[in-house]
Amino acid sequence: MNKPKMTTEKGVPSNSRVLMLLGQLERLNREAMLADAEIGRQITAKILHLIQTQEKTRKEIMSKGSSGMEVILATLENTQDLQTILNILYILNELLTVGGGRRVGVFVSKGGTGILLQLVLSGSKESLPSEELMLQLHSLLAKVGPKDRKFGVKARLNGALNVTVNLLKQNLQNHKLLLPCLQVLRVYSSNSVNAVSLGKNGVLELMFKIIGPYSKKNTSLLKVSLDTLGALLKSKTNARRAVDRAHVPVLLYIYQDWHRNDTRHRHMLIRKGVLGCLKNITNIKLGRKAFIDADGMRILYNTSTECLPVRTLDPLINTSSLIMRKCFPKNRLPLPTIKSVFHHQLPHVPAGGPVAQLYNQPLGVDDVVDESDDNDDVETENDTENEEEDKDHHARNDDIETDINKLRPKETNSRPFEELKIYERFFLELSEDFQRFNFDNPKSGVTATPAAPKSQRPIIVPTAQALPPKYPTAAPLQEECHLAKGEQPHPEASPLAPAPTPAPVHTLDTINITKDHDGCCDHSQVRPQPGLEQELVQGMERVALEGTGPQGGAGGGGVNRHYRQPPLLAGGVAAQQGGGAEETLAEEWAEEEGGEGAVLEVPDTALLLPLHDPDLYVEMVKSTRSVPQYSEVAYPDYFGHVAPTFREHILERVYGVQRTKIFQDIERLIHPNDILDKVVYDLDIQSCPVIDDGESLKFNSQFESGNLRKAIQARKFEYDLVLNSDINSNHYHQWFYFEVSGMRVGAPYRFNIINCEKSNSQFNYGMQVLMYSVQEAISGRPRWVRTGTDICYYKNHFSRSSIAAGGQKGKSYYTMTFSMTFNHKDDVCYFAYHYPYTYSTLKMHLQKLEALRTPQIYMRQDILCETLGGNSCPLLTITAMPESTSNDQICQFRNRPLVFLSSRVHPGETNASWVMKGTLEFLMGSSPLAHSLREAYIFKIVPMLNPDGVVNGNHRCSLSGEDLNRQWQSPSPELHPTIYHTKSLLQYLAAIQRAPLVFCDYHGHSRKKNVFMYGCSLKETVWQTNISATSCELHEDLGYRTLPKILSQTAPAFSMASCSFVVERSKEATARVVVWREIGVQRSYTMESTLCGCDQGKYKGLQIGTRELEEMGAQFCVALLRLKRLTSPLELRNHAHLLDVESDLIETRCKVSSSPSTYVLEDEEHSFMEEVDYSAESGDEPDNDPDAADPHDNRLSDSESNNHRDSLT
């Protein structure tokens, strides 16, 4: 301690005076002179006076290095004089009232809490305890307790807990003493053991004696009492006790009374305190039942509705909404089973895993609901993601690989070369000598694998004509629900199928689609179409279906009549040319249709879409095999998509939109008679999935990549939609693609997809759904557009069984809701999760690309294998032709480094296919850059790794019911043929010492913005762990960062800051990690493209479209060319700025943050800062796939955080 200078009192500054007084007090303690009580009183009184009058005195006592606090506490502990004790308590109150938590922390660290508690105990033993002493002690304890983590334990062990309770019981009318006692009791109750003990001692009943109906008196006391009661009710034992003693109706009555009388909203904290008590009681099942029985749903709904106009009452609305959501009875998903409607028998069932469990599930088991719907009681409920992040902090780094042996790439030849040699046929370019190639006519030398023969199957394209209700314009299956018959089961997939896919065994009708050679029809044969202005259709190319009536026949006399095919799939009826009966029947049909020729008007988009041809697309569909045997073509896939020229901004969230939607859901329980609950579409009714009464919307998803299982009309303009599970699975609900017709113009429709599974979505952060209008397409605007308002994503009341949740109980599904107003009468509209890209579209694009091949391009298309569903998996080889057959040219051709690209392993990530389309178009282009790129590399490309999943509308799995991007370690040739043979290609290349320079798997990401990469780095992974490794062990070429770095400088949508190069245990079976570890490809990447949009760069604030995605594919090619130049010795000196990656690596090292499933950098979206959050709950399973699923990073950018801070999820 600093010794005070002994000088006269008058001329001594105040800070020195307090030091002098403290020195005197210290000597009294040291010399045991406290027996002289009067001296102690005088000194402490003088110190108190100085502190009260001089702010500098407080700072002097609490300054660093000062021993003033120790002296004061020592005196407090040793003195027996009541007045001295009171003086010191007054001093401490003055010191700790200001200065924030630091001063309280100093007090706690010096052992002050224990001294105060001991004084409480000793003071209670007096025959007449001093009220002032107890008042001051409890006032101090109320300030100190929250800062002392051991406060509750200390009070219980010391005995002060019971003293406070007894003091409370004896002073219920003494409000002056009651208030600090309640404040301390509130802190005591934060300890769960204390809370139970206090409940047994009757403290709950005491609280209910203090709280009561509306009163203007003692509001501070009432507020603290409610806070204390809320803390006590966090204990399940106390919550049960409150229910048993019928306190729930009492709390509801009190809340109603305060709501009714607090008209000026001056006591919002009291009302929130009552809600806090109800919130904690309803954490247990008994509490929720008591709340429902007491009509709590109606009470809180009505009071909340009355609070809506007052913005400052949002905390009350939020808490009320949370309670109502929690107490909303769990509903059964309206399905007979959560398994997919469609089934594909596997060649053999895996020994273990989800698919085995699905096949081994006993018959008769209800997999939609189970005991998990009881929603086991929880001690506390996490309301915000901040608490979730606290939990994540403890589990941080658990998923990072810590075994250095596994982190060090090893080229393992797990298969003998003789076994791999059969893959030599896919690498003809490595041995091609071009001796038989005619350089005078180069194109004759390299041909693609011929397309598979067509299957004879009717392909139906719905129209958007203005038809009377008797003959609606939706898909043909909506009138006569008759699927095409006669298809035989698909044969087992063969491991290799270099030959073209054989035609299906069945024989079905074909349709003829004709184009007028001059680009327009004979208008004398086509009547004007109501609802469409004539000038919008002039000059457009028209495609007509030669209509066949129920008896067949398309007309005769050489006249091509443009009749719409009747809504009947007449399987097996051959079209006949000529014949009066058939022509008459067709004419009668046209008359019934209102006399309008059913003309498919196709906008002339040939210049805008050089790779699209409607005729060719239909031909491709005929050879595509699906489990449901689809026989319809969706209009958008037939017409094509021309990217809009206008910008589509990320949707700004409307304040309170989710709260409004949630309240509308709650109304269903309160006013059940208002709910129609009418099924209008149901794939589980195979005979007739469409229920059409003329009053409701009509839905359809029975076309390639379609996914909608059920539609239920809830209100006049509101529909609940249920998605289908992936085939051979019971979950993965995210991708949707369906058709809607029969809408009313201007009506405010609301669509709710009610069985989403992920705990958050970019739909909460500005992403919109996509819509394609047939009327717009006919009018010359064939395009997908971002649409929908009031979009939000939140947890709903439909229970998710433990069977579907991987054994986890008490889970719920999530709702993605959007509102829509239609602009056209008799339109047919399509909605999709993202821009659809079907397998048939890929086949069409590949055939058109082949037609673009010039003599300078070497392009070969092979069939790598057949899938489980009998579809072929194409493999492309693209490079530049050698200039001649000279040895130097042939040698240079064969020794070009390889780049291996793949895409669309997850069917729902359609953006990956659009990026691949951009890559393929660039590679086949005629620009000098494209030519240089082809001369630099040989490209091996698998553009669609999961054709079956794409065709059948799956989101994540193949027909095996498994995520193919988790099968790369040990793929099965029978169950995972595309992965098995793609990996075999890479193993073959490694065996002949030609491993690719770059491997990249294109994916889509649903929870992050921008485009970015995941790679593999030993050094960056070790940095995230506690592994102690020498610099020798961590030696690593930093070249893996070069390509992402180039992309960040050239591609506007790419974000280097979002990239991660950490290897995680849960990703060890993904393509990226296996190719890096087993094949030895240092530059092995997953490139993730956002489904939403960008928050940086040129496209900041915009939703991403196909133009930007295709641009990204092209920019990837440009980056590869720059990579080639940078890694050439002659170029190194000129591009040192791009190779300086060591400094970038060090800069980002300290910025890396983690989430439960991936490790990303600081420009991630910030935490969802809304006060109530239904998008995540305690115990939600993390998503385990940053490579392609979606890491559990529910984050907002700075601007989003500010915009959404006050709104509900």
Segment 327-342 shows an average pLDDT of: 92
Q: What pLDDT score does 233 carry? A: 95
Residue pair 75/32 in contact (Cβ under 8 Å)? The answer is no
User: Range with the lowest mean pLDDT among 298-312, 592-606, 932-946?
Assistant: 592-606
Q: What is the pTM of this model?
A: 0.79
DSSP 225-247: HHHHHHHHTTSHHHHHHHHHTTH
Question: Would you give the end-to-end CA distance of the chain in angstroms?
Answer: 56
At position 400, the amino acid (one-letter code) is: I
pLDDT higher than 70, residue 734: yes
Can you read off the two tokens belonging to residue 1167? 């935490």
Instruction: Give me the torsion for CA of 850, 856, 861, 864, rounded to 10°.
Output: -150
- Least confident residue range of 216-220, 264-268, 955-959: 216-220
Q: 109-123, 368-382, 548-562, 1138-1152: which range is least confident on average?
A: 548-562
pLDDT tier for residue 1142 given thresholds of 50, 70 and 90? very low
Least confident range from 77-86, 917-926, 939-948: namely 77-86
The per-residue pLDDT for 1024 is 76
Most confident listed range (391-405, 570-584, 789-803, 1044-1058): 1044-1058
In sequence order, what are the residues at sequence separation of 6 or more whose Cβ sits closer than 8 angstroms to the Cβ of residue 637?
A: 617, 703, 704, 705, 836, 838, 840, 841
Task: Tell me the pLDDT tens digit for each residue of 147-170.
Answer: 888 998 989 898 888 899 999 888
- Give the pLDDT mean for 1157-1183: 36
Q: Which amino acid is at 669?
A: L
pLDDT band at 175 (very low <50, low <70, confident <90, very high): confident
Contact at 8 Å (CB) between 1013 and 1088?
yes
Beta-bridge partner residues of 878: 859, 939
CA dihedral sign, ordered 942, 943, 944, 945: positive
**Distance from C-alpha of 194 to C-alpha of 165, rounded to nearest angstrom:** 11
Mean predicted lDDT score pLDDT of the chain: 78
Whole-number pLDDT of residue 99 = 65
Which pLDDT score, from 0 to 100, does residue 1176 have? 33
Calculate what percentage of the chain has a pLDDT beyond 70. Answer: 73
Per-residue pLDDT at 451: 40
- pLDDT tens, residue by residue, 1082-1133: 999 999 999 999 999 999 999 999 999 999 999 999 999 999 988 775 544 4
According to the per-residue pLDDT averaged within each range, which of 137-151, 271-285, 588-602, 1127-1141 is highest? 271-285
Distance CA 422, CA 984 (A): 10
The answer on pLDDT for 1197 being more than 80 is no
Report CA-CA distances (Å) from 465 to 553, 597, 828, 1039: 22, 9, 9, 58
- Residues designated catalytic: 1088
Choose from 269-273, 372-376, 441-445, 593-597 the range with maximum mean pLDDT: 269-273
Of 649 and 551, which is predicted with more confidence?
649
Residue 1029 binned pLDDT confidence (cut-offs 50, 70, 90): low
What's the token pair of residue 278?
Answer: 């109800």
pLDDT at 811: 86
Q: How far is CA 382 from CA 231, 663, 807, 1170, in A?
A: 15, 21, 21, 13
Contact indicator for 1088, 1004 with CB cutoff of 8 Å: yes
DSSP state of 1077: I
**Rounded (10°) angle between helices 314-327 and 268-281:** 20
Name residue 601's amino acid.
E
Distance CA 1000, CA 1115 (A): 14
- Does residue 489 carry a pLDDT above 60? no
Distances (CA, A) of 86 to 42, 91, 121, 750: 12, 9, 16, 67
Pick from 562, 554, 567: nearest CA to 601: 562
Q: Is the pLDDT of residue 463 over 70?
A: no
Residue type, 333: L
DSSP count for the chain of H helices, then E strands: 43, 25
Which helix (H) or strand (E) segment holds residue 711: the answer is: strand 710-715
Q: What is the 3-state secondary structure (H, E, C) of 545-594?
A: ECCCCCCCCCCCCCCCCCCCCCCCCCCCCCCCCCCHHHHHHHHHHHHHCC
| Residue 900 DSSP SS3 | strand
Three-state DSSP state, 890: helix
Q: 780: which 2 tokens?
A: 């010359």
Q: What's the pLDDT score for residue 22?
A: 85
Q: Residue 895: in which H helix or E strand, if any?
A: none
Average pLDDT over residues 103-107: 87
Query: pLDDT at residue 1186 above 70?
Result: no
Cβ neighbours of residue 813 closer than 8 Å, sequence gap 6 or more: 333, 733, 754, 755, 756, 757, 795, 796, 798, 799, 800
pLDDT digits (tens, 9 = 90+) for 653-701: 888 898 999 999 999 999 999 999 999 999 999 778 887 777 899 999 9
Identify which has the larger pLDDT, 64 or 442. 64
Determine the pLDDT at residue 711: 97
pLDDT tens digits along 1030-1042 = 555 566 778 899 9
Give me the mean pLDDT over the 65-86 stretch.
87
928 neighbors 940 (Cβ within 8 angstroms): no
How many whole angstroms separate alpha carbon 660 and alpha carbon 321? Answer: 10
DSSP state of 151: H
Spell out the residues 6+ positions from residue 416 whose beta carbon is closer than 8 angstroms to its own: none
1076: which strand partners?
none
